[in-house]
Amino acid sequence: MMKPNLRMNKILTLTALFCGLMLSASAQQNFKYQAALPKVDSPGFYRINLLPAFVAKAKADLSDIRIVDAKGNFIPYIQAGSLPQKDQKSFVVFNQVDAKLSTDTGTTFTIENKTGLALDRLWIKLQNTAVQRKVSLVGSDDLKQWFAIQEDIPLQEAVVNSEGTYMQSLSFPASNYRYLKLLVNDKNKTPIKFLQAGVYTEYAATLSYTPVSPVQLTRADSNKTTYITLKLNDSYQVNKLHLNISAPKYFKRDVWVYQFTGHDKQLLGEAELNSAKATDLLIAAKASYLLIQIDNGDNLPLTVASVDAYQSAESLISYLDGKQTYRLLAGDQSVQAPEYDLKFFADSIRDNTPQISHETVGPNTAYQAKQPAKAGRDYTVFIWVAIVIAAGLLLFLTLKMTKEVNKKAGEKNE
């Protein structure tokens, strides 16, 4: 016969498991899109390549991406760019610039990127700290006008060591601003101490890109200026534009790139098109509509046959079990980036991690099932009421059974 305490523990465990499964299923319903991952042959770390079609469905900072197994559990991951670089000799420290504005609140740390490379990773060195802070990254070409790159990046706590300092990698959409500023939200709090920031040149130089297609091009020439509009099928992440220019043979023109979000027009950057260099424009956009403005001066307009769009390579590193099936989820604007313990074990990941890519992106069926069948009705409240009633009923039955078991046990002892 099962002992009263064992029976009670079993019932409580089943109750907690039921509630956990209900909450897990409810959490998955908040993500609009999913993509299946291929089943891996053996357990281990894998690099999951994020294709443009999936990144387009996620938030600009990719903070709403999740890996989920067949049981509905979220699986830890880290962004591949956060892996520590093995060759410390290739680290280039950026010069610190004194550029604190009166509008800045909290700690600021401004650096100059003299490499001229488009960066999507930045390594920062801090004095050991165990506090929790969030940092925002902005960029500028003149130290006057600043543009947002990414907000609310969580700073890691220091790993136990005897050096008194630690390194952290920040990942963000690829940008080629000359100046980068870190803004820490620590107003009215004790500030943290930045020591230096920089990049590993070998990593930055090998930054790879994935094509985004198709790109619909419309061109208009007016008053010594050429306007090229690019229409994409979705809100893609675009980090590089390559202009295929066939004429004239020699040219040197100023160019500006804008993105449109709704009715808002935002300048992404300005550069120079030069026949002596590659006609690439490095930007950081998350939009379906881009505008390229070229200043022709007194020259004939450039003959632009086409424009190719590219996304910087994005990937996740996660430990996958060969016996499980997994999916990627995205499309929940309300969530923040997850905090997993895996980031403290990045040194355990090999350089030659096997790569896999997700399958076709589609709607998350759990999210669709949550939607009302007819307009004008929202059943979210009813779902939560059902969960509460079910949990309450299980708790009532548990207490009742416990009472009966204790009563029988008392009668037996008499």
Name the 3-class secondary structure at 89. Answer: helix
33 pLDDT more than 90: yes
pTM of this prediction exceeds 0.95: no
At 157, give phi and psi (nearest 5°). Answer: -80, 155
Residue 25, H or E segment: helix 4-28
Q: Dihedral sign, CA of 141, 146, 148, 154?
A: positive
Q: Torsion over CA of 235, 240, 244 and 248, rounded to 10 degrees?
A: 120
For residue 177, name the pLDDT band (cuts at 50, 70, 90).
confident
- Count the helices and strands in the chain (H runs, E runs): 5, 25
The larger pLDDT score, comparing residue 357 to residue 154, is at 357
Nearest-angstrom CA–CA distance, 396 and 400: 6
Q: Can you read off the two tokens belonging to residue 177?
A: 């601003």
Q: Quick count: other Cβ atoms within 10 Å of Cβ 382?
A: 10
Q: Residue 188 carries which side chain, given as an amino acid letter?
A: N
Nearest-angstrom CA–CA distance, 151 and 183: 9
Q: Quick count: other Cβ atoms within 10 Å of Cβ 359?
A: 14
Query: How many Cα atoms are found within 13 Å in the side-chain-facing hemisphere of 221?
Result: 10
Tens digits of residue pLDDT in 106-150: 788 999 987 777 787 888 888 877 777 888 899 888 888 888 888
Least confident of 21-30, 53-62, 307-316, 361-370: 21-30
| Contact present, 217 and 230 (Cβ < 8 Å) | yes
Tens digits of residue pLDDT in 374-389: 555 666 666 777 777 8
Nearest-angstrom CA–CA distance, 160 and 21: 35
Q: Dihedral sign, CA of 114, 115, 119, 125?
A: negative
Radius of gyration of the chain (CA): 27
Angle at which helices 380-413 and 4-28 cross, to 10°? 170
Nearest-angstrom CA–CA distance, 175 and 138: 10
Tens digits of residue pLDDT in 63-96: 899 999 999 899 999 887 666 555 555 678 899 9
202 Cβ contact partners less than 8 Å away, ≥ 6 residues apart:
85, 87, 90
The larger pLDDT score, comparing residue 313 to residue 228, is at 228
Nearest-angstrom CA–CA distance, 143 and 99: 7
Tens digits of residue pLDDT in 193-226: 888 898 876 655 556 889 998 999 999 998 899 9
Nearest-angstrom CA–CA distance, 274 and 251: 6
Nearest-angstrom CA–CA distance, 171 and 120: 6
- Measured at the CA of 199, the angle between CA 196 and CA 201, to 5 degrees, comes to 145
Nearest-angstrom CA–CA distance, 325 and 77: 16
Tens digits of residue pLDDT in 247-293: 999 999 999 999 987 788 888 888 889 999 889 988 888 999 999 99
Q: Residue 104 carries which side chain, given as an amino acid letter?
A: D
Nearest Cα residue to 149 out of 130, 167, 133, 136: 136
